[in-house]
Amino acid sequence: MKGKPPPRGRSTLGWWYTATGKARERKMWGTIVGIGGALLFPVVNNVLGLGWEAKSIPITLFIVLALGLNVVVGFAGLLDLGYAAFFAIGAYTMAFLTSTVSPIGFVREGNHVNFFLAMFVSSAVAALFGVLLGAPTLRLRGDYLAIVTLGFGEIVPLVIKNTPEITKGTQGMNPIGYPEIPGLQFAVDPIPWYYLIVAVLMVSVLITARLRTSRVGRAWAAMREDEVAAASMGVNLVTTKLFAFALGASFSGFAGSIWASYLQVIAPEQFDFSVSIFVLCMIILGGLGNIGGVIAGGLLLGFVDRILFDWINGLVHGVGAAIGNQDLAIMDVSRSRQLIFGVALVAMMLLRPEGLFPSATRRAELHAAEEDEGALEQERAILVDVER
């Protein structure tokens, strides 16, 4: 899904893959249906009496996270397993700036920073941490990078947990400021929240779609394939990588700040490893590198996690009650979500590694080995370089 029709006259395969003819039409309709669906959802929800308005907020918010991670993993090819850390940093920045329990005396005394200003500051702070994490990992690739980012993702919640004088530790921070727009009741009504997040989501889609086809998007793609060759073409690996980290983190910071304000209470265990993996699952399920796919993957996983599990729970409880089985009547299916997602992820990797809705490039990449050995050889050559 793209915000704007792609520029004309470019080639038809590869990373700034720009559709022509039928494919472009399909993309355009996808965009229209997507935007329309997102805007009309509360109305549909009301008419059908689904009662999903509160559930739609975390689902949409996590799609924003997925879009940000997609920049890092899908576009730039940097496997980041600690993405939730930036989510936490965004959330805590929001709390620091707007909470009555903020460690900043000025804020505590009642001078809350405006929500929207705080949102941008949170995002900037997260981006800064993105650069701080990115800088020492510039020389790492693949598994090694994954391990370092995994460590970062573990460290951030631990630091929050163990500095109660600043972050209130496991007790969490509450209350947190919320947007104040005359006529809208953010404090009690989920609908304004929904539209706020959808607006952020649309801006995110627009930005990532434009970036992908931009100069830096090409640099990411080249870097993903062969760092040495990309540098020889004139790609500055340092700034290109750091930019990917910073941008990905800033999306996460946005999402985190809204999340904190929406929930009104944040605690370190909300940002553990499972969050990073959940977001990673979304982009892998949907199709790495493909914005429409990422959104679809996010919707699907969000739906399963927030809505389908509830249904199944109800079903199981009903069956349990009907046949008089106590265990079934009180079983909580959603406690097995890690198991269910794990199985689903393994199944995806075996059956459809390119995701449900892959980008053309990714599909090509994952099936490249079957077609030619050249790519594999290049990869080996890169590894040798890294070892040097």
Binding site for another protein (CB under 8 A): 11-16, 215, 218-219, 221-222, 225-226, 228-237, 361, 364-365, 368, 371-372, 374-375, 377-378, 381, 388
Give which of 34, 61, 57, 58 is closest to 194, Cα–Cα: 57
Name the minimum Å distance from CB 61 to another protein: 33
Q: Quick one: three-class SS letters along the chain? A: CCCCCCCCCCCCCCCCCCCCHHHHHHHHHHHHHHHHHHHHHHHHHHHHCCCCHHHHHHHHHHHHHHHHHHHHHHHCCCCCCCCHHHHHHHHHHHHHHHCCCCCCHHHHCCCCCCHHHHHHHHHHHHHHHHHHHHHHHCCCCHHHHHHHHHHHHHHHHHHHHCCHHHHCHHHCECCCCCCCCCCCCCCCCHHHHHHHHHHHHHHHHHHHHHHHCCHHHHHHHHHHHCHHHHHHCCCCHHHHHHHHHHHHHHHHHHHHHHHHHHHCCECHHHHCHHHHHHHHHHHHHHCCCCHHHHHHHHHHHHHHHHHHHHHHHHHHHHHHHHHCCHHHHHCCHHHHHHHHHHHHHHHHHHHCCCCCCCCHHHHHHHHHHHHCCHHHHHHHHHHHHHHC
CB of 358 to another protein, least distance (A): 13
Whole-number minimum distance, CB 16 to another protein, in Å? 8
**108 versus 367: smaller Cβ distance to another protein:** 367
CB of 221 to another protein, least distance (A): 7
Which residue, 53 or 225, is less far from another protein as judged by CB? 225
Least CB distance from residue 69 to another protein, whole Å?
Answer: 21
Select 131 or 216, whichever has its Cβ closest to another protein. 216
Which CB, 233 or 330, lies closer to another protein? Answer: 233
Q: How far is the CB of 129 from another protein (least distance, A)?
A: 26
Question: Shortest gap between Cβ of 14 and another protein (angstroms)?
Answer: 4
By beta-carbon proximity to another protein, the closer residue of 77 and 153 is: 77
Nearest distance from residue 6's CB to another protein, in Å?
14
Residue closer to another protein by CB (options 98, 240) is 240
Smaller CB distance to another protein: residue 204 or 361?
Answer: 361
Nearest of 19, 69, 16, 63 to residue 37 by alpha carbon: 63
Identify the sign of the CA torsion 370, 374, 380, 385. negative
Residue 35 or 360 having the CB closest to another protein: 360
